[in-house]
Amino acid sequence: MILGGVLVLSGAMAEADTFGTGLNGFTLDFVPIGNAGNGNDTGAGGSYSTPHGGVAYDYRMGVNEISQEAIDKAVAGGLTGMTAGFWSGNQPSATINWYQAAAFTNWLNTSTGHQAAYQLNVGLTELTLWPSADAWQVGGENLYRNKNAQYFLTSENEWYKAAYQKNDGVTANYWDYATASNSAPTAVVGGTVPGTAVYAGAILSEPASVFTDGGLSAYGTRGQGGNVWEWTETAYDGVNSSPSEDRVLRGGGWLNAEYFIRSSSRYNFGSPMFSINDVGFRVASVPEPSAAVLMISAGMLALARRRTRGAL
């Protein structure tokens, strides 16, 4: 449902950011992930867990996986180094390696006048670490991500929190599945019914559209369980200090059994150069200034102008 240009998802307010122009324009929906300072999952709320999900700051999570259509339009708008997608249209982008996912994320930044998140070589085969002075420091040093980036690949903790945290305050309470439940979701070929996901409990030959790949998480993200595995930004050892180390994949895919969509499912399928038709990604972002902050700023500016005019 759209209210005043803002998408309302399961009680959360999601904002649509616009990229590209004309026929090559597209939007990505982001939902706010609050409760900053929550703890990691300790397994208290369910049967499956890993010690992840604690995030010290507010951020925005992409509601959907990145579609092939978004990749195609970014390429038409100047993004280079991408291979042809295995799927098409609103199906998820796949056969895309970590470096290519990072390149798309960089394009989201640079095409909108922001700082690129990652230092990639021209061939999209290498990552250069940022020096500490330029690296992300909030919640711990991250030498992969630039501190001024607006858009970035989701860290494992950012991904885990958006998928499984119960969104009930600054707590360590988590669900087992990314459908706000400790019960396995109903397997479907597609749709948006709560408590459903696209995985191998249904007869499937391909992933669903990123807009119809199951029910929502507690925060309002869709398809974090099933459809395609998703790259995270994070190195498998949890320390982003080695540019070529294996990256963590999360969420499971449409071909996978229920076991793989649990919160305890954490994998590294290979190096950042790895690609296959059931691995995609989504992006995250820093929060936009709130309406209240903007109103206060506008009021202060107007007051300053009145004072200036009165002094003349």
- pTM here is 0.89
**Total number of domains in the chain:** 1
Tens digits of pLDDT across the chain (312 residues):
333 333 444 446 789 999 999 999 999 999 999 999 999 999 877 899 999 999 999 999 999 999 999 999 999 999 999 988 999 999 999 999 999 999 999 999 999 999 999 999 999 999 999 999 999 999 999 999 999 999 999 999 999 999 999 998 888 999 999 999 999 999 999 999 999 999 998 888 999 999 999 999 999 999 999 999 999 999 999 999 999 999 999 999 999 999 999 999 999 987 999 999 999 999 999 986 643 333 333 343 343 443 433 443
Residue 262, domain CATH: 3.90.1580.10
Report the Cα–Cα distance between both ends of the chain, in Å, rounded: 50
The domain in which residue 157 lies consists of 2-311
